């Protein structure tokens, strides 16, 4: 399953003033007829991760639909989103403010923050898209990106969310909270683990527990240095002091990655694992990589999630076409296809109660798989903390618990 957060960073030496840059003329996003007229005949170079055949095939299918509207979509396959960000930044440094090489970027997290800070984005446009009316702005984190307000500069198109995979042959009922996970682990030592931080998934588990235990999760939306770090994180360390000795191999070893963790369930070494892909368990069951008794659950107060977005560089020469692509990605029929596990298995950014009966049926007819929760069952998505929290938490976790590795 594709992770939605791609590891990237911009070198500090590349920083530029925040002054606005001259932008290639584009129609007003609120005048959609003008956007469609300007988009006809344009070619949109979408710089997007190209590391999975399913993703590439989906983007090609979207391109076929767009061709009917006179827009040509070219998928520029990336292994690292930073490559596209750096390309736009280099063009800005060179004064190439018209018809840049990048028209649309699959983006989120630090990449978006960097582009926004450097004045590299066109917009706002996202909330003027016709299909924005269907977006779940209340239940999903689609107006902030790792605590950074999107301000209409990027449009969501897919969701990831923490779920817990459990083997019902040994763990009969879902566990409703972090405290319940701890109590179960103490009663069943050795049957739970998580990937070793700073692995993305292991760090995500630490964030999830911190969100659950902190008195006021809102404090995590500000940089860690602006809060009383020791006081805020004290409940997390108390929790982990109890949990670590009862983990798989007494917390003296951890699986290196998410797939290695999944293999432990398959080998019946553990009964509970963390995932950032609600469809992952079903996919692995279908591929005979997990026992058919595995299911998933979320916590009662919700679980951590984030969105993947698309953004338009300030110097794109095909801004109208790029907006048409962003709008197409929000169409209910496109979102439903993306959620189909036989196509992509990505979670939708749409709100089911904003759709017509016919549109909802597109989602209801999808066979999500035996272990996949429905959009309604996934419940509330908890927002990502400011990245500085995870940096410090991971460092301290390594000091306190990682020495036995």
Task: Tell me the residue range of the domain where 398 lies.
Answer: 163-297+384-404
Q: What is the pLDDT of residue 5?
A: 38
Q: Which residue has the tokens 């009922």?
A: 173
Residues 138, 169 share a domain: no
What are the tens digits of pLDDT across the range 42-78?
999 999 988 878 889 999 999 999 999 999 999 999 9
Is the pTM value of this prediction over 0.75? yes
Residue 127 · residue 101 · CB < 8 Å: no
Residues 353, 218 share a domain: no
More confident residue, 127 or 384: 127
Residues 168, 145 share a domain: no
Residues 237, 205 share a domain: yes
What are the tens digits of pLDDT across the range 248-288?
999 999 999 998 999 999 999 999 999 998 988 998 898 89
What are the tens digits of pLDDT across the range 380-404?
889 899 888 988 999 999 999 986 5
Determine the average pLDDT of the residues in 321-349: 94
Residue 322 lies in a domain: yes
Residues 270, 175 share a domain: yes
Residue 193 · residue 266 · CB < 8 Å: no
Residues 169, 50 share a domain: no
Instruction: Reply yes or no on whether the pLDDT at 24 is more than 80.
Output: no
Number of domains present in the structure of the chain: 2
Tell me what the pLDDT averaged over the chain comes to: 90
What are the tens digits of pLDDT across the range 303-320?
999 899 999 999 999 999
Residue 373 lies in a domain: no
Give the pair of three-digit tokens for residue 402. Answer: 């990682």
Confidence class for position 322, pLDDT limits 50, 70, 90: very high
Instruction: Reply yes or no on whether the pLDDT at 379 is more than 90.
Output: no
């Amino acid at each position: 399953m594709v992770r939605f957060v791609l590891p990237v960073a911009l070198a500090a030496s590349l920083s530029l003033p925040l002054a606005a840059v001259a932008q290639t003329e584009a129609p007003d996003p609120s005048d959609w007829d003008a956007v469609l007229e300007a988009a006809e005949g344009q070619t949109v170079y979408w710089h997007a991760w190209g590391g999975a055949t399913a993703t590439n095939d989906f983007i090609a299918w979207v391109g076929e639909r767009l061709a009917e509207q006179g827009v040509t979509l070219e998928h520029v396959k990336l292994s690292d989103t930073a490559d596209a960000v750096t390309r736009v930044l280099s063009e800005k440094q060179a004064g190439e403010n018209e018809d840049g090489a990048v028209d649309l970027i699959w983006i989120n997290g630090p990449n978006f923050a960097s582009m926004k800070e450097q004045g590299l984005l066109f917009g706002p446009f996202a909330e003027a898209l016709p299909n924005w009316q269907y977006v779940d702005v209340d239940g999903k984190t689609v107006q902030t990106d790792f605590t950074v307000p999107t301000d209409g500069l990027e449009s969501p198109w897919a969701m990831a969310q923490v779920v817990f995979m459990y083997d019902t042959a040994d763990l009969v009922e879902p566990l409703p909270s972090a405290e319940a996970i701890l109590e179960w682990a103490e009663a069943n030592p050795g049957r739970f683990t998580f990937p070793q931080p700073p692995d993305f998934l292991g760090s995500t588990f630490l964030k999830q527990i911190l969100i659950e235990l902190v008195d006021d999760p809102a404090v995590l939306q500000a940089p860690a240095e602006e809060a009383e770090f020791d006081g805020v994180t004290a409940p997390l360390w108390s929790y982990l002091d109890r949990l670590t000795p009862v983990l798989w191999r007494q917390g003296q070893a951890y699986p290196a990655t998410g797939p290695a963790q999944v293999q432990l369930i398959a080998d019946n070494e553990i009964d509970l694992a963390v995932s950032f892909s609600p469809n992952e368990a079903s996919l692995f069951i279908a591929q005979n990589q997990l026992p058919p008794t595995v299911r998933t659950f979320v916590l009662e107060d919700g679980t951590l999630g984030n969105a993947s977005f698309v953004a338009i560089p300030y110097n794109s020469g095909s801004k109208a076409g790029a907006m048409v692509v962003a709008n197409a990605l929000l169409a209910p029929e496109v979102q439903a296809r993306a959620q189909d596990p036989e196509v992509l298995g990505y979670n939708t950014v749409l709100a089911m109660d904003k759709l017509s009966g016919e549109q909802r049926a597109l989602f209801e007819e999808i066979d999500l798989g035996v272990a996949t929760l429905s959009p309604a069952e996934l419940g509330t998505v908890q927002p990502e903390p400011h990245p500085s929290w995870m940096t410090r938490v991971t460092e301290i976790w390594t000091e306190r618990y990682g020495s036995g590795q």
